[in-house]
Amino acid sequence: MAVGAVDESLKIWDDSNYGEGVTLVAPGAKIVRADTSQSNGYAEADGTSDATAYVSATAALIRAKYPDLTAGQVINRLIKSAYLPDDVTKAPDEEYGYGVIRPYASLTRDIPKGPKQGPLAQPSPSTSTNSGTASEDNDSTTQAKKKKKSSSGNILIIAGIAAAVVVIGILFAVLRNRRNGGNGGPGSGGGTPPHGTGYPPQPPTGYQPYPNTPPNQGYPTNQGYPPPPAQSPQHPNPYAQQPPSEDR
């Protein structure tokens, strides 16, 4: 419950709460309360907190006298015993709610218990028609979820099969490459040609003969390589030098 405050004339306090949520109002202006900052231990103050204390105290008194009442039935006694000024024609009012709290009347008046939920309980929106509609909505929602789940499962299965096919293809290509080229097999270009084929041995790619190498060393001379440059006297060919004689 939301509680507002009234002054000593039962008029709404200037700083009270307003709105549709206000349920009851209680004294909240010039209230004497405990204050340890004062020499006598008391002070006068205003506020809806003081009004709330009056309402909760009255609820405690009702529960003490009628322990079999539910919380909703206690609220029913608070509301049915409240006082509304003559100029308030409709309850709940945005300022007064259902009226000003009256503790004595709430304890002594002959007020029926009322429903366990109390007078403020919201009516259940579900009816037979609404229940059927809600059931149909739940069924359609469940079927939609099942379809979505099934579709998601099919997508996952297809994706798994595609991934397996890709992996198998990669493994097959690697194995075939190893069989054909990894051990000098056909097509690798790195094996040794068989003996007796009648072809002269070919130089490796990028081969260039050393300078001053005599022709006919097993490699053809007409490979399109330019003739070796003449050796400069300052830089003799290190491969053409003779080793020193033993008597030197």
In this prediction, residue 224 carries a pLDDT of 53
Give the tens place of pLDDT for each residue, 151-204: 666 676 777 777 777 777 787 777 777 776 655 444 444 455 455 445 555 555
DSSP string, 76-116: HHHHHT-B--TT--SSSBTTTBT-B--HHHHHHS------T
Q: Higher model confidence: residue 151 or residue 81? A: 81
For residues 57 and 103, the answer to whether their CB atoms sit within 8 Å is yes
Omega before residue 92 within 30° of 0, cis: yes
Give the tens place of pLDDT for each residue, 213-247: 555 554 555 555 555 555 555 555 555 555 555 55
Q: CA 48, 50, 54: angle at the middle one, nearest 5?
A: 110
Q: Is 24 helix (H, G, I), strand (E, B) or coil?
A: strand
Q: Are strands 22-27 and 2-6 parallel, antiparallel or unpaired?
A: parallel
Of the candidate ranges 16-20, 80-84, 151-155, the one whose mean pLDDT is the lowest: 151-155
In this prediction, residue 175 carries a pLDDT of 74
Q: Which residues of 114-128 are buried (b: 16+ CB within 10 A; e: fewer)?
A: beebbeeeeeeeeee
2-108, CATH topology level: Rossmann fold (3.40.50)
Q: Is the pLDDT of residue 59 over 80?
A: yes
